[in-house]
Amino acid sequence: MGRAGNLGWDALAAARELAFAACPPAAAALRKELAAATLTLRQSDAAYRPPGPSGTPGGLVRFDADRPVMVLADVHARPGYLLAALEYEPPGSGAAMASLLAEGRAGLCVLGDVLHSEGRGARQRWSRAYEEYLRGYPEPSPAMDSEMSAALAALRIVLALTVAFPGRFACLKGNHDNLAAVDGDGDRLAIKFAHETPMAAAWMRSRYGQDMLAAAREYERSLPLMAAGTGRPRGMGWAASHAEPARALDADGILGYHDRPDVVYSLIWTDNGSAENDSVRDTLAVLEPLGIDPDGVWLGGHRHVDGRWAARQGGRFLQIHGYGQTRAALIPPGRRFDPNRDIIDLEEPRPRC
């Protein structure tokens, strides 16, 4: 999967190969990739990911102010969405995002929810997969095999980028990033079109065994909850999490999130309209000693919004997720984020013959 900043590792070629994989991966490959990404996350540089009270990497990752950062909305089993981001050439850059990441000239942040499709045709596929689930997933189980092939392809791209570009790439934890179907530690079972979380866990157990679910859980527990830009002039900063913070959070809780399931839940499960007033403002204020702009904008996904984005909390929180949409936010260096200018739609690539 390559080493940090290794220009010999072709991120685009690797992502293209994974994005159009027709079958689930071999167990040995997936196990190795999960272990490598988990180790990378646990060894994160303290300047990039400040440690919590226990000394382990905390729930916040910090991106440098002097490079642009692309923020992607929820992935939901769309490896092509990730590939589109890597192929995208920001205006004036002269290179694709994959090259900019390798050269240290840009950052990429994903808002999580790598698993569980929800776009066009997802409801019908989940319905067919549920019937297979009730039969114990005989081989083959076409609907669920197809669903998990896409989900694991997206996950493998994220794992590869995590290892290749530490400090430049981050995937935040979302509420669907719960492959082991844990109901606790801030996680809940995601049930939308069917019983997605227990269905995916049962499929993984039937195809790979319980040890793979344990490895996936170790990886998911190592994911950060929040990202932010540091060193930017006041009013030009930014932060991001999967969901809108449900309430004002404290720095110790965010950094020590492994012991704070309430903080995990607050940043991955908040429904639209249920956050406390000024939770964004008050959380950013307590993070100012960590270099976070108290007047910055906060980006999130989690729930579908009509239009290109939805503004909450007086415009301090911008939600960019839409079913089946390939939305991205480009955080520019040197000026304030402008959603009219800086929220774009990527073009998802098709297989190349």
Per-residue pLDDT of 69-90, as tens digits, reads 999 999 999 999 999 999 999 9
Most confident of the ranges 188-192, 216-220, 235-239: 216-220
Give the pLDDT confidence of 286-336 residue by residue, as tens digits.
999 999 999 999 999 999 999 899 999 999 999 999 998 999 999 998 899
pLDDT for res 351: 64
Separation CA 195–CA 193 (nearest Å): 7
Res 8: pLDDT: 46
Ranges of each domain in the chain: 11-345
> Is the CA virtual torsion 146, 152, 155, 157 positive or negative?
negative
CATH superfamily name and code, 11-345? Metallo-dependent phosphatases (3.60.21.10)
User: φ, ψ for residue 212 (rounded to 5)?
Assistant: -70, -35
Paired strand residues for 331: 69
Reading the block at residue 63, the tokens are 């991106």
Tokens of 213: 């679910």
Nearest of 157, 165, 162, 125 to residue 144 by alpha carbon? 125
pLDDT in tens, 13-40: 989 999 988 899 999 999 999 999 999 9
pLDDT at residue 162 greater than cutoff 90: yes
Position 9 scores a pLDDT of: 65
Q: Rounded to an integer, what distance in angstroms lies between the CA atom of residue 96 and that of residue 166?
A: 18
86 neighbors 349 (Cβ within 8 angstroms): no
For 205: left if phi > 0, alpha if psi spans -120 to 50, otherwise beta; the answer is alpha
User: Positive or negative, the Cα torsion across 93, 96, 102, 108?
Assistant: positive
Identity of the residue numbered 252: D
